[in-house]
Chains A and B, each alone.
Chain A
Amino acid sequence: MNDIVTWAALAPVLALLGSLINGLFGRRLKEPLPGIIGSVAVGAGFVLSFIAFIALLGRTEPSVSLVLWPYLNAGSFSLELGFVIDSLSVIMMMIVTGVGLLIHIYSIGYMHGDSGFSRYFAGLNLFIAAMLILVMADSFLLMFVGWEGVGVVSYLLIGFWYRERLNADAARKAFIVNRIGDVGFLLAMFLIFKTFGTLNIAEVNEAALSLVFGSAALSLIALLLLLAATGKSAQLPLQVWLPDAMAGPTPVSALIHAATMVTAGVYLIARAAPLFAQSPAAAATVAWVGALTAIIAAFVALSQKDIKKILAYSTISQLGYMFVAVGVGAYWVGIFHFFTNAFFKALLFLTAGSVIHALGGEQNIDKMGGLGKSMKITGGTALIAALAISGAPFLSGFFSKDAILSASFNSELIAGYGNYVIYAILLLTAVMTAFYMFRWYYRVFAGSERLDKETKVRLHESPSIMTVPLLILAFFSVVAGYIGLPEFAFPNWLAPWLEQSIEAPVNFVHRAVLTEWLLIGLSVLAVAVGLGLAYWVYHLKNAAPLARFNQGFLGALNRFSQSGAGFDGLYRNVFINPGEGTAGGLAAVDKEVIDRGIRAGFVSVGLLGRLLGLWQSGYVRIYALAMLAGIAILVILLAVTGVMA
């Protein structure tokens, strides 16, 4: 522990400690003490992470490894648990603890008066611990520990208000869908061990670079890891759990289901970048999954009426962008968008939480409107967040989204013209993003008030323990993009910093500066079109042009969008019902066929049949005697064979 960087390894320990204190003794602590304990534990983790970051800044090789303890060393399999704190993981750690701290503080206000106050903070701290383990892990196995850990905590917190059946159902759904992804992770590890003989990420990455480009084993490993990533990051085809996960308390949605946990899939791919860079087929699959998810989720977001569901689909869509980035080989860009997204997406959710808090639980945007007047901070910061996520120039989302568009346009990892198609999809999605985000903003914060009278009376701005975190997040939503300015014309700090930890050779076409400016112009145009359309429909015309979306083809499209593109129904018919049928059928087979069949087989052996008859007379003791007699016979038989031998 001579190196100051290694002190950051205490961050997950502190969070775990906070969780234990609140979990074991929290019910005896008075509000807000559990919240303060939780916040201090995470805050200390942030300080340690920040110190580690500063210490790493000046180093030529910003990477520190720390072995914790031997875990599974046996025979050819060897595994020690260890952390690696490098330029990639330290960024993740700062976001997890930093944004985490703000959300902890906000929660003290939001969860005020809840009977599960200490249980809530125990869960939130446990999440931070598991997430830190995930990002600091030096092996796929330890990463999997964190990976399932965050899944477990996510399950606990989605079902936090467990007395409502729907919440418990949502939690269950999230857990099970995530387990499907986990099987991908497990199988990937089995194959990684078979191929490379180790599960240490650095060793695997190094060995992958020397493997044949595009070899079958590499592609399969990468695709299995992709399956894992789609589960955790709610991408096609496993995106179905995230909208339901909104059943959890809103700050939980902000922290776990928007800013941090759901980006774990992006992190996994960036961490294992050489596996993907060496396997163009798998990389293209990642990019296509991302692009399709981005546009489908954006399409669904257009028509949702729940203030949180819109944001949930926008999360899925933004994660799609990140998947495209890591799919086309722009790994640092994926992390860049994670970085900016963490601020504005957390902010969006927290403003939504502030609204729900003020309206006493109302989540339908049709019953909101005009809230910006009485909730100035919430409304103002929500506007900043909406602009940032839409990609309005000079805010954080603009730079990171533009970097993704530019990377997908220029990537040479995707064969043929695929990257141009993906670019076009993302550009269209950008239009839709601006549109649905401003639909959200106008319907909630601007225009006519559609509240009922009771709610109107209660309407108030949230207390400062909630609004101060909003302001801080708003500040970063504005400035966070300046660490990753377009490389062709400006200094970019983030790319070289991250690429010290991500060594994966991917070629990008270097275009003329004019082309690059043109691409930026197109992005700006996309935002302008989407924003303008939303302004016209929802601000000028007060949603009147939407009347025609109730009938005919447009009506069908509208309903399709509202149903979440029909995935839940599809999966129920294709997987859940047949699955339950199979389980029930097997249970019946087990009881009737296997059991009876074997019994019949036994009974047909005459001697045993007679034994059975005896048994049914009920003399348990006779059987014990029979067995002792059996043992006696054994000894006698032994004697006989002994003599013969």
Chain B
Amino acid sequence: MTLAALFLPLVTALLLSFTAQAQAKRALALAGTILTFVVALFLPGDSGVAVPWIPGFGVYFALNPAGAAAVLVPVAALVMIPTVLYAGLKVERRGGAFIALLLAMQTGLNGIFLAKDLVLFYLFWEATLIPSLFMLGIWGGGERRAAVMKYMIYAMTGSLLMLLAILAIKPLSGAASYQLADLLAVTPQLALRTQVWLFIGFTLAFAVKLPLWPLHAWLPDFHEQNHSSGAADVAGTLYKVGAWGFFAWALPLLPAAATLIAPILLALAAFTAVYAALIATSQSHFKRLLAYASLSHMGIVGVGLFGLHLAGLNGAIYLLAAQMVSTGGMFLISGMLFDRKGSFDLSNFGGLAKSAPAMAALTLFVLFASIGVPGLANFPGEFMSLLGAYQNNPYLAAFATLAVIAAGVYGVNLYQRLYQGREEHGAVRELAGLELLVLVPIVVGILWLGLAPQPQLERIEEQSQLLSTQLEVQMTETVLLKGAER
């Protein structure tokens, strides 16, 4: 199952190149994503694989869906269904290639979530960047070159430092291999100074991808310039894997450095959450607004993560999954509105609820999910992230909670500018046919994640419990050490 979930999208992408007819390509791609989703649902309980890959260097082809990967992979797969469907409808120039890149990204993403070998993780991490760059560079808007450049520089600089850290960690710790279990057995015992240097290496790569202030500047341009269907933006939303990097690798491998540095990162994350939400309130470009809103959510993910409290760790990963659906849904809706109006400038909209009531209702539903209305997808994760961080650091968590107000502001402002008032800029087509179908998985996902978080949470818990225990041991030791010094 693990291998199938990993490679099905890539295989589909390859098959696409042997298909000539556009209609057949779409059908094939859709079938591939649906099949991947079904397979991903069976991931929990699967034993994964671990075979020597480059044995001389201790690199294993090790993948295992145990823990949070069994949540993130299926949720990402669910979101890929409407994304591929909508891209098939709306990417006219070389649509097949676009979809192939989307699918290639999905394989890369699944690899990032499933990898249990650090080098393998890095390979997926880097490989996923390629399709993402291609989509922006080939299908992007007028200013795409500058956006691609910025995006790549941020990503590559981060990766470079992570690469150095990865190369160093095995020899320094004397681990038997690059497999997570082998590293875990020794790296936590590394001297604090060593851990801190390694942690910084990982942190830059992950903070760029989280993204965390002030390493986020690529994000608004990335979204503004990506293809107007919004499909590439969804892929970009799924690709916000920085939090995962911390959760699955940096925090467990280097717990001493993590407990030392986490408060700084927590402060940055809390700041990111409020800062980005505030900026979102003043945006007049639809996708830039969504980019900042999404940045604010990732700030809250960071708050949950760096609060180093079990509830927050659970919440952070849960929110990471939930925002795939809600933010992804918003980007698809932005594409549908662009399709009608030919613009992302919010001053060109208004009063559309009259001509497109179902579209208005669905937009509001996804928007409410995105700003954390309880009962919908983002709330459980947001709540637990903030609650967890509050247990260890009340002031920063309380500060981050203020983002909830700003989210209310940009949320209802956006809705008003799109749908309320008079139709001063003309009426639009109501949602129909395949467009409605595109939004079905989004709505289902929002309700699924919002109403019944327990099963997913248990899977995340499996992994975060280990991490939290480890961090707690570390924190107790630090306290003891400090006591002994006195």
Contacts and interface: CB of A to CB of B under 8 A. Distances in A.
A79 to B, nearest CB: 10
B152 A74 contact: no
Interface stretch (B20-28, B37-45, B417-425): B417-425
A634 B217 contact: no
Contact of A620 (B137, B171, B453): B137
| In the complex, the 7 A-B pairs of residues with the closest C-beta atoms, listed nearest first | A642-B57, A179-B408, A190-B390, A620-B137, A168-B420, A75-B310, A595-B217
A639 B141 CA distance: 41
B394 A171 contact: no
Contacts of B310: 74-77
Nearest to B144: A620
24 contacts: A71-B454, A72-B384, A72-B453, A74-B311, A74-B464, A75-B464, A145-B375, A163-B420, A171-B412, A175-B412, A179-B407, A186-B401, A194-B391, A580-B281, A594-B214, A602-B157, A612-B149, A616-B145, A618-B145, A627-B156, A641-B167, A642-B58, A644-B171, A645-B58
A587 B282 contact: yes
Interface in B438-476: 452-454, 457-458, 460-461, 464-465, 468
A73 B454 contact: yes
Contacts of B419: 162
B278 interface: yes
Nearest to B283: A587
B214 A148 contact: no
B454 A620 contact: no
B420 A74 contact: no
A396 B292 CA distance: 53
Interface string A213-252: 0000000000000000000000000000000000000000
B303 to A, nearest CB: 12
A580 B126 contact: no
Contacts of B278: 582-583, 586
Given A586-B275, A586-B279, A638-B59, 7 more contacts: A152-B373, A598-B214, A631-B123, A631-B127, A634-B123, A641-B170, A642-B54
Nearest to A197: B391
Interface residues of B, number: 87
A71 B59 CA distance: 40
A186 B58 contact: no
Interface string B349-391: 0010110010001000000100001110000100110110011
B137 to A, nearest CB: 4
A71 B379 CA distance: 12
B29 interface: no
Interface string A567-599: 000000000000010111011001000110011
A183 B405 contact: yes
A366 to B, nearest CB: 29
Nearest to A179: B408
B140 to A, nearest CB: 10
A488 interface: no
B232 to A, nearest CB: 14
A541 to B, nearest CB: 45
Nearest to B407: A179
A641 B420 contact: no
Interface residues of A, number: 75
A183 B409 CA distance: 13
B281 A149 contact: no
B130 interface: yes
Contact of B282 (A152, A580, A643): A580
Contact of B404 (A182, A189, A608, A642): A182
A631 B127 CA distance: 8
A168 B311 CA distance: 38
B391 A193 contact: yes
Nearest to B138: A620
B408 A590 contact: no
A187 interface: yes
A70 interface: yes
A628 B119 CA distance: 15
B413 interface: yes
B450 to A, nearest CB: 10
B81 to A, nearest CB: 22
A627 B405 contact: no
A521 interface: no
A456 interface: no
B311 A76 contact: yes
Given A171-B412, A631-B123, A74 B214 contact: no
A69 interface: yes
Nearest to B164: A637
B134 interface: yes
Given A183-B402, A586-B278, A615-B148, A73 B133 contact: no
A172 interface: yes
Contacts of A36: none
A196 interface: no
B64 interface: no
A96 B164 CA distance: 64
Nearest to A116: B357
A186 B384 contact: no
B368 A152 contact: yes
Contact of B351 (A73, A163, A182, A643): A163
A119 to B, nearest CB: 8
Most B-side CB within 10 Å, residue of A74, A141, A191, A608? A74
Given A580-B282, A642-B57, A624 B374 contact: no
B405 A165 contact: no
A73 B152 contact: no
A564 interface: no
Contacts of B483: none
B194 interface: no
B479 interface: no
Interface in B47-64: 54, 56-59
Contacts of A72: 380, 383-384, 453-454, 457
A616 B147 CA distance: 11
Contact of A608 (B153, B275, B394): B153
B480 interface: no
B277 to A, nearest CB: 9
Contact of A179 (B150, B314, B405, B457): B405
Interface string A56-67: 000000000000
A176 B415 CA distance: 13
B57 A641 contact: yes
A168 B351 CA distance: 11
B398 interface: yes
A638 B373 contact: no
Interface in A133-192: 141, 144-145, 148-149, 152, 155, 159, 162-165, 168-169, 171-172, 175-176, 179-180, 182-183, 186-187, 189-191
A180 B59 CA distance: 52
Contact of B421 (A69, A165, A598, A608): A165
Given A145-B374, A162-B419, A183-B405, A77 B311 contact: yes
A456 B441 CA distance: 55
